[in-house]
Amino acid sequence: MTLWFVRDMVGSMGRPIRIEYKGALYHITSRGNERRKIFLDEKDRTQFLRILADYYDRYGILIHAYVLMDNHYHLILETPKGNLLKVMHGLNGSYTGYFNRRHGRVGHLLQGRYKAILIEKDTYLLPLSRYIHLNPARAGRVKKVDQYEWSSYRGYVGREKEQRWMESGCVLSQLSTKPARARRKYKEYVEEGIRKRIDDPLREVHGQVILGTERFIEQTKELLRGKVLTPEIVERERLQEHPRIEEIVGEVARRFGVKPEVIRAGGTRGNTARQVALYLSHRYTGLSNEAIGKYFGIINSSGVSKASARVTEEMLKDKRLSTLIHDVSSSFKA
């Protein structure tokens, strides 16, 4: 493992560290501000899963399990590219923006920082997936685990078609090499947690951030020694994996038959090429909103996120626009 980034060491502020490296596996939890609901209806939950699928495509993450409750969600998330902070900032930010626009509200939706626990895959992935899938039944939302629609469990056990971005194979393969038998054994394994008391794996978390054997914990601590880097170092490394903003604008200009200067020029209504370039730059360059805004002459960096969100919504309504954007992006996807 090559450690990329550590920050917020537990200190006077009492905030747990963030550990980020290629191939890291996490249990992620994010809760509503003041314990308020973050999903009000089916449309909200569907949109969250749509954003999750988008980030699977954009950043190459693997989702091993999820459950969406009313005022919080759980994910088991793996980052082959070591990009946890980028993924979670975008995921929570995108959903908050959607929720506030749809429900006519402003301000924070989620309570502080998300919680990310580094997981030892071989030892804890299986029991942690069960813990997550049992949430709705334990909360009294359903009597049977497979009755709850908004988790990955039904796909795991074959009750419905699994989402294309779900990665259940790592869990199921621990039970059997034969898919049908693995699903059946996993169902029995999870339902065991309803019939009798089982240990909560999260009670064994070390130092608020690591769940694993003593050997895994010591290996992780060894990685931390002398490896504290600044965000700028990580960002420079990451930018090498992404297309330059000039490449994106040039490609969009070519497809639309306009000059790059037209795309960068502000104050022109109906400048679709500019909107597409902004969206693709926000999606693929890995640059901050401030840097993208500066390039396009946008004073308020939040305008970049808003412009990108508008294009995302337009793509849902306009199939021609969606096809065009996917066609353009295929030439430089990371």
pLDDT, tens only, 203-224: 889 888 899 998 898 888 777 6
76 CB-near residues (< 8 Å, 6+ apart): 25, 26, 27, 28, 63, 64, 65, 66, 119, 125, 128, 129, 132
State the pLDDT at residue 218: 86
Going by pLDDT thresholds of 50, 70 and 90, the confidence category of residue 326 is confident
Q: Nearest to residue 76, comparing CAs of 116, 122, 36?
A: 116
Question: pLDDT at residue 52 above 50?
Answer: yes
Most confident segment among 18-32, 36-50, 77-91, 270-284? 36-50
Residue 50, judged by CB atoms within 10 A of its CB (0-12, 13-18, 19+), counts as middle
CB 145 within 8 A of CB 134: yes
Of the candidate ranges 1-5, 249-253, 302-306, the one whose mean pLDDT is the lowest = 1-5
State the pLDDT at residue 69: 97
Report the mean per-residue pLDDT for the chain.
85
State the pLDDT at residue 138: 92
List of domains in the chain:
3-231 (3.30.70.1290), 243-329 (1.10.1750.10)
State the pLDDT at residue 266: 72
Residue 55: CB atoms within 10 Å: 20
